């Protein structure tokens, strides 16, 4: 033993964390795009395309979360080092993003749960107006009235934070 504390994993694997960060950004951008397509599809009455888009959005958001948490576990983070005049606005945006991102997970899971229960009761997408399925789809709709705006806000603010830190961020390891 040298008596020195172990170096953070990110410093022992210098190229891995930034690559994971890039893939996290790619997956969350694609997730946001899939979410918007899912909303458009359901408004046009295309239930099958809606379901596929929303499952894609959910899967990509899950991959993002795994990549994001992996990056943090590697000890790779960026801290705001931009103009002092923007610091308050940046941290207000960051705090609202963090709070709503934490709220978004249970909201999305609730929406998915009720859609799955409704689909299971209906048997197929063509039968979602069946009396047994209607209560679950009504709850699904009630959940998504909150979930979609929160998810979009979290996605857009996440992209803004990423761009700000790309320009005004300093890598912090350890």
Cβ 78 vs Cβ 169: under 8 Å: yes
Handedness of CA 150, 151, 154, 159 (dihedral sign): negative
In a domain, 2, yes or no: no
Instruction: Please spell the DSSP secondary structure of 54-77, one letter per residue.
Output: HHHHHHHHHHHHHHHHHHHHTTEE
> Do the domain assignments include residue 38?
yes
Q: Are 100 and 154 in contact (CB under 8 A)?
A: yes
Residue at 66 is within a domain? yes
| Confidence (pLDDT) at 45 | 94
pLDDT of the residue at 9: 54
pLDDT in tens, 14-51: 688 889 989 999 999 999 999 999 999 999 999 999 99
1 inside domain: no
- Angle CA(153)–CA(43)–CA(62) in degrees, nearest 5? 45
Whether 24 maps to a domain, the answer reads: yes
- Residue 4 above 90 pLDDT? no
Quote the domain boundaries for residue 38.
Answer: 9-173
Q: 160, 80 in Cβ contact below 8 A?
A: no
CB contact set of 96 (below 8 Å; sequence gap of 6+): 153, 157
62 Cβ neighbours under 8 A, 6+ residues apart = none
**pLDDT computed for residue 172 by the predictor:** 81
Residue 85 lies in a domain: yes
Would you place residue 140 in the very low, low, confident or very high pLDDT band (cuts 50, 70, 90)?
A: very high
pLDDT for the residue 18: 87
Do 113 and 170 touch, CB atoms closer than 8 A? no
Three-class SS state of 169: strand
For residue 4, is it within any domain? no
Name the phi and psi angles at 172, rounded to 5: -120, 125
Per-residue model confidence as pLDDT tens digits over 45-104: 999 999 999 999 999 999 999 999 999 888 888 999 999 999 999 999 999 999 999 999
Domain assignment present for residue 156? The answer is: yes
Counted domains in the chain? 1
Distance CA 64, CA 58 (A): 10
Q: Is 20 strand, coil or helix? A: helix
The pTM score is: 0.84
Return the pLDDT at 173: 64
The residue behind tokens 């197929």 is 124
């Amino acid at each position: 033993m040298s008596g020195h504390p172990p170096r953070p994993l990110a410093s022992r694997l210098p190229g891995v964390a930034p690559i994971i960060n890039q893939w996290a950004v790619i997956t969350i951008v694609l997730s946001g795009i899939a979410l918007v397509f899912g909303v458009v599809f359901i408004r046009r009455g295309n239930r099958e395309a809606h379901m596929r888009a929303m499952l894609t959005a959910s899967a990509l958001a899950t991959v993002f979360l795994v990549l994001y948490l992996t990056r943090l576990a590697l000890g790779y983070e960026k801290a705001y080092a931009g103009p002092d005049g923007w610091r308050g606005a940046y941290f207000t945006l960051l705090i609202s993003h963090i709070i709503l991102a934490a709220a978004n997970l249970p909201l999305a899971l609730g929406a998915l749960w009720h859609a799955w229960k409704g689909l299971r009761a209906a048997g197929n997408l063509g039968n979602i107006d069946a009396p047994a399925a209607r209560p679950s789809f009504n709850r699904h709709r009630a959940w998504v009235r909150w979930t979609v705006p929160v998810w979009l806000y979290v996605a857009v603010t996440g992209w803004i934070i990423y761009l700000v830190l790309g320009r005004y961020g300093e890598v912090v390891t350890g």
